[in-house]
Amino acid sequence: MNAAARLMLIIALAGPSLSGAQGPRQLAPPAASLGHPAVAGDGAACITCHEEIAASRVMHGPAAAGQCRTCHVVDTSRGVRRVTLKGAGANGETAALCVTCHEDLADRLKQEHRHAPVASGKCTACHDPHGSPFKFQLPVEAGRACLSCHQDIADALTQSYVHPPAAASCQICHDPHASAQPAQLRARSNKVCLACHITAPADRTAADFPLLFGRHSADAMDRLAASGSRILLDASLTVGHPVRGHPIQGRKDPSRKGRPLDCASCHNPHGSAGAKLLRFGATGISSLCIRCHGK
């Protein structure tokens, strides 16, 4: 309901004593004594007062079907009527509630590398439980759903050299919820990159192309993959770039403590001030090599 309608309702419920010339603060009745209005029924009965809940372009299945009570419980236990959430945790944790229906997600959420808001059970940090103007009930279109919390990555996308898949959608490489790989990558870091940057891999499973890239349309992904420039590697796919004999995995990264050498050791997967997405602000090969081969 809109603010005016809500106010009218509160006034009506609280009786004539509150409808005088007081400011809005005094108008609000003590919630504990008033409680939620009596309700019989579900769906349409709720929407009479909560019409904004059903007004979104992309509605969530059960909310669209008017099954408000699959998630909400009208609870009158301690004399006060309240509408609570089924199985929700104390701090806005809804994961347990959500997976009662989204069972297929339960196993995926148990993977080792869970995204912070998912690990704390806050599904509603990204999804509106009722509906929104965008697919998956996200607050913005899916390709932009991450930038509100990741300003550093948003900044990378304003650099002179932007990686086309990062501009297209974060979910091409990252799972928004959890994965078996660090940074919720959809596959071990180099595998994600090689899917688009090697020519017809000898072993097609090295790319696992169909398994990568989540729910993006195969056409769009094929186009991105086809336009990625190819790098030269030997048959093991572990050596041969950027110069002959150079390893791209299986060693420690001398420039980043505790991290393995991989594509992201030299390239920023999101965007960079330097050509070829080089890291360290390197604008040419020489300023890059000395980062690891300094002495």
In the region spanning residues 91 to 130, those forming contacts with ligand HEC, defined by CB under 6 A, are 92, 94-95, 97-102, 105, 109, 113, 115-118, 122-127, 129-130
Binder among 18, 54, 140, 206 for ligand HEC (CB under 6 A):
54
For residues 269 and 279, give the distance between their C-alpha atoms in angstroms, rounded to a whole number.
Answer: 9
Q: Residues in the chain, how many? A: 295
In the complex, the smallest distance separating the C-beta of residue 20 from ligand HEC, rounded to whole angstroms, is 20
For residues 82 and 77, give the distance between their C-alpha atoms in angstroms, rounded to a whole number.
Answer: 9
Binder among 133, 164, 250, 281 for ligand HEC (CB under 6 A):
164
Q: Which CB atom, from 211 or from 285, has the smaller least distance to ligand HEC? A: 285
163 interacts with ligand HEC by CB under 6 A: yes
248 interacts with ligand HEC by CB under 6 A: yes
18 interacts with ligand HEC by CB under 6 A: no
**Residue 134, SS3 per DSSP:** coil
39 interacts with ligand HEC by CB under 6 A: yes
DSSP state of 71: T
Q: Which CB atom, from 22 or from 218, has the smaller least distance to ligand HEC? A: 218
Q: Taking the CA atoms of the chain, what radius of gyration do you get in angstroms?
A: 26
Binder among 131, 132, 224, 274 for ligand HEC (CB under 6 A):
224
Dihedral (CA of 105, 106, 107, 113) sign = positive
φ/ψ (deg, to 5) at 139: -75, -20
Half-sphere exposure of 149 (CA within 13 A, CB side): 11
178 interacts with ligand HEC by CB under 6 A: no
**How far apart, in Å, are the Cα atoms of 214 and each of 50, 85, 179, 199, 248?**
35, 31, 12, 22, 25
289 interacts with ligand HEC by CB under 6 A: yes
181 interacts with ligand HEC by CB under 6 A: no
In the complex, the smallest distance separating the C-beta of residue 24 from ligand HEC, rounded to whole angstroms, is 14
Q: How many CB atoms lie within 10 A of CB 48?
A: 11
In the complex, the smallest distance separating the C-beta of residue 79 from ligand HEC, rounded to whole angstroms, is 14
In the complex, the smallest distance separating the C-beta of residue 294 from ligand HEC, rounded to whole angstroms, is 10
Q: Which residues does residue 161 pair with via DSSP β-bridges, in sequence order?
A: 272
In the complex, the smallest distance separating the C-beta of residue 246 from ligand HEC, rounded to whole angstroms, is 5
